[in-house]
Chain A
Amino acid sequence: MTRRTLFTLIALASGLALVSYWIGQQSYSWMPVQASAEAILVDNLFSFMVAIASFIVLGVTGTLLYSVLFQRASRYDISDGPALEGNLKLEIVWTAIPLVLVVWIGTYSYQTYNRMSILGSGGSLHVGMPTAMANEIGASPEASAPIEVRSRQWAWEFYYPDRDVTSTELHLPVNQRAQLQLTSEDVLHGFYVPAFRVKQDIIPGRAIAFEFTPIREGRYRLRDSEYSGTYFATNQTHVVVESLKSYQQWLAAAAAQPLTPAENVAYQEFKAAIEKPMSLGWSRIVPAAAPLANYSSSESDSHE
């Protein structure tokens, strides 16, 4: 390799590295708002992976594009290219590069995962410290019983055992480690709040401990992430993150309310469908009746 080609290569690679870094920085804006401590960790990891990915994709595509544009055989040229069959040094280098990248990305992911430690102590074996994140942001882990998240076809129900409150909207105090216990009455469901970047399948017959730390006040979408049958798409509700004070006010107000049937999209759609049956008559699963709750959310409420 001549000095000149070496210089060009280094210049190209550094230019590409800058562009890739910039794309990596952009990646934060592709995500929903960062409403939990975990979201910050995941977004940093994602940004790092996007930068590496951009470098690889742009580098390889650029090389191919250059070949296609400038190394075409002219119309009547039927000769062959150089009979290069291999180059041991090159081959070792490009086996080593992905290996190094993999170890790097893997280690970073491992550290991120450890710091998140979203599977609560009741759930399973731990690699990290359970309240690592909570300590970092200086939150005091509450000693109260975990909020019970009950999922079914198709409604979310949140039960606060300390106050005996049932709600179809999940309320959480900001900057405190949220402790949940996930259960399902029928099939697999998935607890998923995109703004928190956390997700956990809920398996019938098990109670899964789950935790994370909301850090930003607001109203966020909670979605079912594990396909659960006919009205799966409607199985959504809201999480409200608020100051400790308004959280306690909300709990007290809800506790004073009687249980009333909540709004339920699946149930409404089902009733409308059996009144005018679909011509194809493909089978639908009967949704559970609308849950009874002290406090219920409405689909028309806004979210971020």
Chain B
Amino acid sequence: MSDATLTALPKTEQPHPGAPDNWKRFFTFSTDHKVIGIQYIVTAFFFFLIGGLLAMVMRGELITPAADLVDRTVYNGLFTMHGTIMLFMWTFPFLNGLANYLVPLMIGARDMAFPKLNAVAFWMVPVFGVILMASFLVPGGPSQSGWWAYPPVSLQNPTGNLINGQLLWLVAVALSGISSILGAVNIVTTIVRMRALGLGWFRMPVFVWAVMSAQIIQLFGLPALTAGAVMLLFDLAVGTSFFNPAGGGDPVLYQHFFWFYSHPAVYVIILPIFGVFSEVFPVHARKPLFGYPFVAVSSLVITGLSGVVWVHHMFASGTPDWMRMLFMFSTMLISVPTGVKVFAWVATVWGGKIQLTTPMLFALGGLVMFLFAGVTGIMLASAPFDIHVNNTYFVVGHFHYVIYGAAVMGAYAAIYHWFPKMTGHMYYEGLGKLHFALTFIGANLNFFPMHPLGLQGMPRRVASYDPEFAFWNVIASIGGFILGLSTLPFILNILSSWVQGKKAPNNPWRAIGLEWLVSSPPPHENFAEIPVVVSGPYGYGSNEPLVELAESKAAE
């Protein structure tokens, strides 16, 4: 891209009242996608900290074999709320925030397709967040049935109260589903309808492809989860028997409803993170994304396959042999499009001019941990092996490598990469690197030991365990506490640089992409004139211009 293109951009005074340079905007019902994006991200991070604190107590309990730190009821409530908060209050809202912030900028749109709907979807998050947290205060405490809330355990209501932790949990999850559906409709519509002139499908950044593929999953999957939650709510509150065996219902039917969404949901989480990797690697290795069309399309392939794999969570349920075998093969197939992506990233980094900035470190660390999670994932897909390890710590280790190693590390990569754009300030590299070191070491110490524990047969969701499991649990707990600690340099970094960090230029990474053409932070409505895109998103080293400004085009 030429300097002429950059300087040809309009000056960025903000003529619209309440442009996002005023922090009070973040506490209002704003319809600006950038405000909403940051609202989502900050809210999500707040819940991440709460979920993390609960995890610290759990690791404290597990540092000794006996159930001696907290009562068993408390431990059960802790892992239920930890899992629920981490998924429904941190990961999904965070990724929605990122998509909200970036997608319109990346496709050259002034806002989302339905700005009001967007704001409504966001404001549902604090509402169901409060409902979920309120369950700590109701008599009997929060739900203790785990984040997947399998009946009949989730239908046992020892307090006998109508308002109980499980009920609030179900209401919150159903509302979360509705909010996510609203978000998905908006994001998919925006991507399909609002792209700038010249931005054909194969000029779209991979992040946008990935977000679109992920949100399509929300559209077909969430109705199943929400329906399952509502039916369970009826069973619990008014005594129907959809899933209650005591009344002739089938608890396995619930598992089908639940996993039909909740397996694809892991792709709702990981696909946008793949998108982040695909944006970060080319910039910081200064090379085009290798095999761009393959990487882009493989997201959609994953979306398609993700709909036919849910039974792998039920290999040990009352699942017939033929179903076990069928879903074993379909699950393994997902590793093909995923492998395509991994190889493409490696080839992108290979032979580049690598700059080990904080976002690059997090992306590389995330990729390595994802690789590890990927190979244990294939093992889990293999039914005979899964029968031994499912519901043991092996699975907990596997999914924390995905969700912490890849998703949280990828989320941090995204925050650091786009922080200058979002806030107009640079973060502190030194603190960023400290944050990375603590996170990477902590995460591996915390989650690696879970694999040997699972192979040895330590079940998950236990407050106490046999003494032979003590060694690896102590290591895991130490790792957990390091992870808790690792958030401190991050918070310090973000707060201090947001307030007083060095001013960020419009394009601190010399990156290619529409979002880097506007000022940091971008003005209200993003583009004074909508750019016309004339080439693909990753032209590093080839000196092609990315856009032509509509005005200069008109002048020709």
> Are B316 and A79 interface neighbours, CB within 8 A?
no
- With A57-B371, A57-B372, A81-B540 already in contact, the answer to whether A109 and B387 are too (CB < 8 A) is no
Of the candidates A49, A81, A192, which one forms a contact with B286 in the assembled complex, judged by CB atoms under 8 Å apart? A81
Asked whether any CB of chain A lies closer than 8 Å to the CB of B288, the reply is: yes
B342 and chain A: residue at smallest CB distance: A60
B332 and chain A: residue at smallest CB distance: A102
Asked whether any CB of chain B lies closer than 8 Å to the CB of A231, the reply is: yes
Chain B residues in 8 Å Cβ range of A206: 318
Chain B's nearest CB lies how many Å from the CB of A145? 21
> Are A90 and B347 interface neighbours, CB within 8 A?
yes
> Are A201 and B368 interface neighbours, CB within 8 A?
no
Chain A residues in 8 Å Cβ range of B539: 83
Asked whether any CB of chain B lies closer than 8 Å to the CB of A99, the reply is: yes
> Are A71 and B350 interface neighbours, CB within 8 A?
yes
B interface list, Cβ under 8 A from A? 67, 71-74, 76-77, 139-142, 144-146, 150, 152-153, 156-159, 164-165, 245-246, 251-252, 285-294, 316-318, 320-322, 324-325, 328-329, 332-333, 335-336, 338-340, 342-343, 346-347, 349-356, 364, 367-368, 371-372, 375-376, 378-379, 382-385, 387-388, 390-392, 452, 455-457, 459-466, 510, 538-542
Chain A residues in 8 Å Cβ range of B67: 233
> Are B541 and A86 interface neighbours, CB within 8 A?
no
Chain B residues in 8 Å Cβ range of A190: 316, 391
> Are A198 and B388 interface neighbours, CB within 8 A?
yes
B157 and chain A: residue at smallest CB distance: A283
- With A233-B464, A283-B158 already in contact, the answer to whether A95 and B354 are too (CB < 8 A) is no
- With A32-B456, A72-B355, A225-B459 already in contact, the answer to whether A82 and B384 are too (CB < 8 A) is no
Asked whether any CB of chain B lies closer than 8 Å to the CB of A247, the reply is: no
Chain A's nearest CB lies how many Å from the CB of B369? 10
- With A30-B455, A97-B339, A225-B316 already in contact, the answer to whether A67 and B152 are too (CB < 8 A) is no
Cα-based distance from A119 to B315 in the complex (angstroms): 12
> Are A78 and B510 interface neighbours, CB within 8 A?
yes
Task: Given contact pairs A283-B164, A284-B72, enumerate 4 new A-B contacts (beta carbons under 8 Å).
Answer: A116-B384, A194-B388, A208-B318, A283-B141
Interface residues of A in 62-114 (CB under 8 A from B): 63-64, 67-68, 71-73, 77-87, 90-91, 94-95, 97-99, 101-102, 105-106, 109-110, 112-113
Of the candidates A61, A119, A186, A195, which one forms a contact with B368 in the assembled complex, judged by CB atoms under 8 Å apart? A61
Interface residues of A in 187-210 (CB under 8 A from B): 187-188, 190, 192, 194-195, 197-201, 203-206, 208
B250 and chain A: residue at smallest CB distance: A205
Of the candidates A46, A124, A194, which one forms a contact with B379 in the assembled complex, judged by CB atoms under 8 Å apart? A46
Cα-based distance from A297 to B433 in the complex (angstroms): 54
Interface centre among B320, B355, B459, B460 (most CB of A within 10 A): B459
Cα-based distance from A273 to B158 in the complex (angstroms): 15
Of the candidates A31, A86, A97, A201, which one forms a contact with B455 in the assembled complex, judged by CB atoms under 8 Å apart? A31
- Provide the main secondary structure of the chain A interface: mixed
Pull 9 A–B residue pairs with CB atoms less than 8 Å apart, ordered by A. Answer: A31-B456, A32-B456, A67-B349, A109-B328, A124-B321, A187-B153, A198-B388, A204-B246, A284-B73
Chain B residues in 8 Å Cβ range of A198: 387-388
Which 7 A-B residue pairings sit nearest by Cβ, starting from the closest? Answer: A194-B457, A282-B141, A83-B541, A80-B541, A233-B462, A53-B375, A98-B339
Chain A's nearest CB lies how many Å from the CB of B33? 31
A90 and chain B: residue at smallest CB distance: B347
Cα-based distance from A48 to B316 in the complex (angstroms): 22
Cα-based distance from A227 to B320 in the complex (angstroms): 21
Chain A residues in 8 Å Cβ range of B152: 186-188, 204
Of the candidates A95, A117, A201, which one forms a contact with B317 in the assembled complex, judged by CB atoms under 8 Å apart? A201
Of the candidates B139, B379, B541, which one forms a contact with A82 in the assembled complex, judged by CB atoms under 8 Å apart? B541
